[in-house]
A and B are shown apart, each in its own frame.
Chain A
């Protein structure tokens, strides 16, 4: 392989990501080629200096993060308990409907009772009034006959 091709593979070689056969070819080339080994030493030297141990974080960072995450999850869960349980939700809706329609019917019947109580006298004479209406009709008929 030419030096140019080898140099393109040196990053993968450094990270040991080359297939074993290609890796062997690169190793053999580096043993023989002075300019490529110098190039590789420069590259690996720089990458080695950039290696950093992940800094040890103070425990308070993790405990704070843990507290924030789990309090959000707990909040979300308590909301979900109320929203996503179909049976209690259906039962609650049914109960509300029963209360609503029951209330309407109760209010209706109460109003009818009140109406009857207020107009009791009038209702008792209803038959009389109906008869009076009949007289009105008779008067109309008489008028028609006169014409």
Chain B
């Protein structure tokens, strides 16, 4: 979506245009869901977070002040909700309310590539599982940066906007994340 299209869409959203909101949903549903899934590692949570993101976008669009792009704003909301999820999880595990791992077994990953090539499907599924496990082992800041950069292919400048930090911090966290990734991958392979 180019800048002109985006500002038209925002104006329509601010006017309460229902069809504009449908368009926004279709445009960003995959980005929001996959980002939430990559950060939480939990399918159900990703669904709940995605739902909450769109409701918050709908309720908050009138206050959107064009300080960032619509995409960055939506990502910021998703990130905050994922952080809340991790905070909640930390409290629960501290209180020993939930001892089992919350990461799911990639409910939907069974459909990846299976139709075309079963062997490739199994390989992709395995790769996805290892990748997701490794991502979840990274410290929070590194995980957020790595997912945005490597999996969502966002620019460092955009990531800095979403996180509200200098580009140098993003680069430093990305560097550390990749270094940690190398070590963790080796551990998993062993």
Contact = CB atoms under 8 A, between A and B. Distances in A.
Contact of A65 (B51, B149, B175, B182): B51
A15 to B, nearest CB: 7
Interface string A45-70: 01101111111111001101110110
A66 B25 contact: yes
Contact of B34 (A8, A51, A54, A64): A54
Secondary structure type dominating chain A contacts:
helix
A76 B131 contact: no
Contacts of B127: 49, 52
Contacts, number: 73
Given A46-B182, A73-B58, A55 B51 contact: no
A47 B150 contact: yes
B108 A55 contact: yes
Contacts of B68: none
Contacts of B111: 55-56, 58
A6 B14 CA distance: 48
Contacts of B175: 8, 11
Contacts of B131: 50, 52
B83 interface: no
Contacts of A76: 55, 58-59
Interface of B: 21, 25, 29-30, 33-34, 47, 50-51, 54-55, 58-59, 108-109, 111-112, 124, 127-128, 131, 149-151, 155-156, 171, 174-175, 178, 181-182, 185
Interface of A: 8, 11-12, 15, 17, 43, 46-47, 49-58, 61-62, 64-66, 68-69, 72-73, 76
5 contacts: A17-B156, A65-B33, A72-B51, A72-B55, A76-B55
